[in-house]
Amino acid sequence: MVIFIITLIAFYISYFLYTIYNLHMFQLNYYKIKEHIKWIKKNIGKLLFRSVSMIPILFLAIEKTVIQILVISLFLLMAFINKPKKAKKPFAYTNRMKRLLLTINVISIILIAITKIIFGYKYIIAMAILNLLLPIEVLIANYINMPVNNLITKGYIKDAKKKLESMPNLIVIGVTGSYGKTTMKTFLGKILSSKYNVLITPQNFNTTLGVVRTIRENLKATHEVFVCEMGATKKGDIKEICDLVKPKYGIITSIGEQHLESFKSIENIINTKFELADSIPEDGLVFLNADNEYIKQKEKKDNYIYYGTNNKEYKYNSYDIKNTSNGLSFKMILDGEEKEFSSKLLGEHNVINITGALALAKELGVETEKIKSKVRLLETAEHRLQIIKRGNNTIIDDAYNSNPAGARAALNVLHSFDGTRILITPGMIELGEKQYKCNFEFGEYATQKCDYIVLVGKEQTKPIKDGIEAKNFDKNKLFVVDSLDEAMAKANELGEYGKEKIILLENDLPDNY
């Protein structure tokens, strides 16, 4: 009896950890049913392996000590396999997750109790089946909790709206784009802080609920400006956030092929990003990156202000751009005079983001000299061309995300350094039908900018490898490995002894990929 109880405890530990794993994946899929079902289909083999510990349950009815000890050992082994590992985005024990965990446990206990009453010892089979179906149980539990979740969400949104209504003088700025929005948000927060008390949405809180949480937890009566990053994976997402915060100013940083898998077409991406522009009142202003062809093609409106580089027709135009491994410099005509700006940021592409932030700051009355001093102090966001020194190595950490334009810009930054230039990448994802083409072209371009290339994942990086080989890149300088750790180890072996290595980490696949 004692061994039997120990066995059940070992089973529950394994089952609990497997439940947490599934909940974490559901969380990383943003609680979206369709996305999670696609993830289940894609990872069915991995899920079946993680469920293999339930097979020994069928032997629990055999009351032999040796067998039950073996069963306990296997449960503990699978508990070790299912235990939470270091993640880029760790599992968050939110109230919603706690409710899901409770609901899953209640469902399991009820079903096991029913089968125990009806079938006696055969309830053991129900335990095994429950574990195999755990990914589906998460969706069932979510469906059961949906009325409660919706009620709580409505309450949170109501609280956020009430707080915003109590601050009629708050200047709300919406920031969106296929890429560059987090950088733009950060730059705006720094530059505007020279005149205003500014709140920006933290980290990746760019969904409706993320914005709601920011308002409820961080917005204070003393704030004068709220810079709200707005993300989207489908049409209507930006409008939903705009209906909540009612921005008077908006800035669209870029439009590109990122998230094409969920949007299906570039037209859907354009229309979704311009939901921000459509939500700005007539007495407000929309700032648009005119260097982006998709943005430039949209019909102009009276309250649109364009910013760009090397084009005098824009009100805010940066030119004479100099880009080195030590930083950036550029010029701009402001207040009728030529002004020169400098920044320690890397990459010519950052000039367009600085220009957009500068344009909005000027329209909000920030003095040019204050802007200049803030631009000099700007720092890159974490994992976005972040420079890390490790002994004789310089790591350019651009791991947060990757899109075709950003990947090319990162390669240009790598090429601006002197030393042995090494690219480490798993490639780009969520590009739909264009994923092969974009990765192929990325591989082609990389051959012009790198001394060595290390690809992470054989299947995932095949399009990049094809592009690299199409350019007859030296095969002895191309490597394919299974993990980032292996890639870093390989990078440490490359190049000449004593010569500085410049290692670009371009993209890092999310935990649920």
- Per domain, the residue ranges of the chain are 2-148, 167-377, 386-506
pLDDT at residue number 57: 55
Q: For the structural domain made of 167-377, what CATH number should be given?
A: 3.40.1190.10
Give 163's pLDDT tier (boundaries 50, 70, 90). Answer: very high
**pLDDT digit string (tens) for 279-296?**
999 999 999 999 999 999
- 478 in Cβ contact with 450 (< 8 Å): no
Contacts of 273 (CB under 8 A, 6+ apart): 176, 177, 178, 232, 238, 252, 255
**pLDDT digit string (tens) for 251-269?**
999 998 766 666 778 899 9
Asked whether residue 102 carries a pLDDT value surpassing 80, the answer given is yes
Give the residue-averaged pLDDT of 458-485: 92
User: How much is the pTM?
Assistant: 0.82
Give 403's pLDDT tier (boundaries 50, 70, 90). Answer: confident
Q: Which residues of 185-219 are buried (b: 16+ CB within 10 A; e: fewer)?
A: bbbbbbbbbebbebbbbeeebbbbbbbbbbbeeeb
**pLDDT digit string (tens) for 411-454?**
999 998 888 999 999 988 877 778 899 999 999 999 999 999 99
**How many residues can be counted in the chain?**
513
- 157 in Cβ contact with 324 (< 8 Å): no
**pLDDT digit string (tens) for 345-398?**
988 889 999 999 999 999 999 999 999 999 999 987 777 788 888 877 889 988
Q: For the structural domain made of 386-506, what CATH number should be given?
A: 3.90.190.20
Segments in 166-221 forming alpha helices (H): 181-192, 208-218
